[in-house]
Amino acid sequence: MPRNQKSLLGTWRFTCCVLSACFLVSVSFRPGSIGAQEGGNSQRILGVAKAQELVQRSTEKTGVDLNDVVQLDIEVAKVLSRTRGLLSLNGLRTMDAQIAQALTSGDSKLVLRLNGIEELSPQAASHLANAGYLELNGLHPARETLRELGKCKGTLHLPKLQSLDAETALFFAEGPWRLYLNGLTSLDVDVARALSICKGELSLNGISFLTDQAAEELSGHSGGISLGSLRKLTHVRLAQRLAESRVGVSLEQLDEVSSECLESLVTTMFRLKLGLKEIGYEQAEVLARYRGRLILSRVETLSPDTVDVLLRSNYKLTCSALRKLEDVKLAERLTNDSSKMFGSPSLDSLTESVAEVIARKKMILPLYQVKEITLPVAKILASHQGHLILTGLRTMSDEQAELFAAREGTLRLSRALAISDQARASLENNKRITWSESKR
């Protein structure tokens, strides 16, 4: 073949390769295509066909998780508006009004998680307010954006809102059924008065202290109130309002409570969670009148007299920080829980009598803090039929290992457990035994 023809043929082949490569790139990175990548990682831009497939498969329980999606077009947003269950789009950093309108254009109230968005225009906020549930955990909302979000009639999460004046607080007066403002750490009287006008439930779990005046204003709120970080409760009207909440009372950081307020709290018909570090005899007398589910989240020890009083009532009991447990009747109460999990995961030791009680029921036994066990206790725990967690154990004898290796229930141990090679081999032969890098 002449030299000039060979040159032309080579040029033609090279041009075809370049065109083919450009075609492939244009298809792969076409906006809206299913597999479009950004930044060389797993982030993607969603296409209509894939969105339709995901929405059709969605249920109230599963929803649609699209946290790797970084961009939406209007047609895709319209498809996603029909999602059943939670729609999670935490990869989005911005959202304009047109996308927000399309995303909330469905017939049902969308359950929406947009925790990557840091800025939002009032126009976009006005459309997102139509969602039935809206999480904006990364948003630092401007005043006019807050005005629009305040029109939301469902559930609204704004944890990055760290300050609020009374005039702005009034934006929520006719709005959310559930309003989560857990980023607020203080509440003056005027803001408390403005928030008390809100018709829905209020979650103010960042507030650690309230003046009597602010507590008085807040107690005028007609809905439920959550104050999970409150350290001192002495205002009776506020205690009464907390007890009326339909989601129960959760005071996990509570250090001090007056007897009058405790009397009010035990009237709740729902869960009562208290962060008190100590329970005295008189407080136990009051708690014994409670008829729901009592959670003592920070009590590490209970005196025998206090235990006797607490056990007078038949409420369900959880003592998640309890270190010592020697009372058999208290052990029985802690296993009487419909959640199917033992109510004292912080125990650092086990007696034989207590081990016998907690091993009877086919429930989860999370014994994270137990560092050593005797051979009799090992025999009892090995007979337990439920899931057993002993990731805090430091050592295990060959005899103990043999017992656990023959166990039928599932067992989790720590990889740092000091045992002989023979014992480890025996345990690893049991496929129901798993190994953890940490205590949990």
pLDDT tens-place string over residues 235-244? 999 999 999 9
Residues of the chain with pLDDT > 90, as a percent, come to: 80
State how far the Cα of 79 lies from the Cα of 52, in Å rounded to an integer: 6
State the pLDDT at residue 337: 63
CA-based nearest residue to 102, from 112, 91, 117: 112
CB 383, CB 411: distance < 8 Å? no
User: pLDDT of 155-211, one tens digit each?
Assistant: 999 999 999 999 999 999 988 899 999 999 999 999 999 999 998 899 999 999 999
Exposed / middle / buried, residue 403 (Cβ in 10 Å: 0-12, 13-18, 19+):
middle
State how far the Cα of 155 lies from the Cα of 289, in Å rounded to an integer: 34
- For range 273-300, the mean pLDDT: 95
CA distances from residue 279 to 35, 128, 327, 336 in whole angstroms, order as listed: 58, 46, 16, 21
State the pLDDT at residue 44: 75
- For range 93-97, the mean pLDDT: 96
State the pLDDT at residue 45: 81
What b-and-e string marks burial along 281-300, b requiring 16 or more CB atoms within 10 Å of the CB?
eebbebbbebebbbbbbbbe
State how far the Cα of 315 lies from the Cα of 107, in Å rounded to an integer: 43
In this structure, of 118-132, 154-168, 358-372, 426-440, the range with the lowest mean pLDDT score is: 426-440
State the pLDDT at residue 23: 36
Phi-psi region of 249 (alpha: psi -120 to 50; beta: other; left: phi over 0): beta
State the pLDDT at residue 13: 47
CA-based nearest residue to 420, from 403, 395, 439: 395
Residue 265 has pLDDT above 50, yes or no: yes
CA-based nearest residue to 248, from 203, 184, 193: 203
User: pLDDT of 354-371, one tens digit each?
Assistant: 999 999 988 999 999 999
CB 160, CB 185: distance < 8 Å? no
State the pLDDT at residue 225: 94
CA-based nearest residue to 211, from 228, 234, 195: 234
